[in-house]
Amino acid sequence: MDNATYEKYKQAGRIAAEARDYGVSLLKPGVRLLEVASCVEDRILKNDAGLAFPVNIALNSLAAHYSPTHDDPRMFQKGDVVKLDVGAHMDGYIADTAVTIELGTHQYADLIRASEEALTKVINVFTTQLPLSEAGKTIESTITSYGFKPIENLMGHGLKRYELHSGVSIPNVGALGGKSTLHDGDVIAIEPFATNGAGHVTSSQGSNIYLCKDTLKAKFIRDNKTKLVCEKIRNNFGSLPFAQRWYHTLFPKDDLTMKKLMILGVVKQYPQLVEAKGGMVTQKEHTVIVREDGCEVIT
C-alpha cells in the first residue's frame, strides 16, 4: 500500500468514526430513524468524504440491512437494541464501522459486551500469520464465554477501492476460514455479532438498500426512460450500495422504473437479515489494516 492510499484510508476511518459517534449521540427514544440516518450521512458529506453505503440501523432481532425510506415514520423506543453501521470513503477507499447501543435500559449489557470484547480480542491477535479459522475461534470463544452465540452466517469482509465486499470473509466461528491468511496491507472490516438466539440469520423483507449490478443485461434495456434511469443510478452510485431515499431524491415520482430494473436483474435489493429464532443481536465493527506484526485500527 503506497502512502497516498494509506492516508486516504486513514482519513476515511477518521470521518466514519466521527460520524458513528455523532450518530450515537442522536439515538434517543422518540427520535425518527430517518433523522439519525440523514444527519449521519450529512455529517460524512460535510467532511468531504463519500458515502460507502447507506447508514444501516438494525433494531433488536434484526442483525443487519435496514435503512429508512424517505418517508419512514419509525421511531426509536425505550429498550431498543440499536446497531448503527456507518461507512465513508475517500476516493473509493472505504472505512466501515458499527456499534450497538441499548436505549434507556440495561437488560442486554452483557450481550453488548460480548461482541465488543470479541472484537477487541481478535484485533489484538490478528496478523498476516493468523489463520482465518483462528480469528473465528477467538471471536466464538469470547462470545460463548458470556453464554451467548456468535452468528455463524454473518462475517467480516475485505475492503478494496469501491468494493465494500472484496471476496475475503472474516468468520465469527472457528469452523470457517480454514488455514487461509491475509497479506500485509490488506484492509478488512471485522464485525462480531452476538445473540441469545439460534446463532444464525435468515433473509426477510427488503431493506431499502440497493446495488446496481455490473451485468450485461443493462445493455439490452430497450425502453429509453428505463435506460436513462439506469445510467443515472450508475453515474451517481457506481458500484456502491445506495438507499431508496437517495433514489427518491433523483426520481421523486418514479418508483416503477426501479421495480423494472429489479425485475431485469440490473438492480438488486439487499434483504433484511433477521435472527432465526428472534434472538436479540449485538454487533461491533472496526476497519483495520493488517500488518505482519499486528493490525492498525482506522475507525
Give buried/exposed letters for 62-97 (b at 16+ CB in 10 A, else e). Answer: bbbbbbbbeebeeebeeebbbbbbbbbbbebbbbbb
165 catalytic, yes or no? yes
| Closest to 130 (Cα-Cα) out of 197, 184, 60, 58 | 184
Identified catalytic residue from 191, 200, 275, 286: 191
Helix, strand, coil percentages (3-state) for the chain, rounded to 5, are: 35, 30, 35
| Closest to 86 (Cα-Cα) out of 159, 166, 167, 20 | 20
85 catalytic, yes or no? yes
Q: Is 25 exposed, middle or buried (0-12, 13-18, 19+ CB in 10 A)?
A: exposed
Identified catalytic residue from 41, 72, 80, 85: 85
**What DSSP line would sit under 52-116, residue for residue?**
SSPPEEEETTEEE-----TT---B--TT-EEEEEEEEEETTEEEEEEEEEESS--TTHHHHHHHH
Identified catalytic residue from 65, 157, 200, 286: 157
Identified catalytic residue from 41, 72, 96, 117: 96
117 catalytic, yes or no? no
163 catalytic, yes or no? no
Which residues carry out catalysis?
85, 96, 157, 165, 191, 285
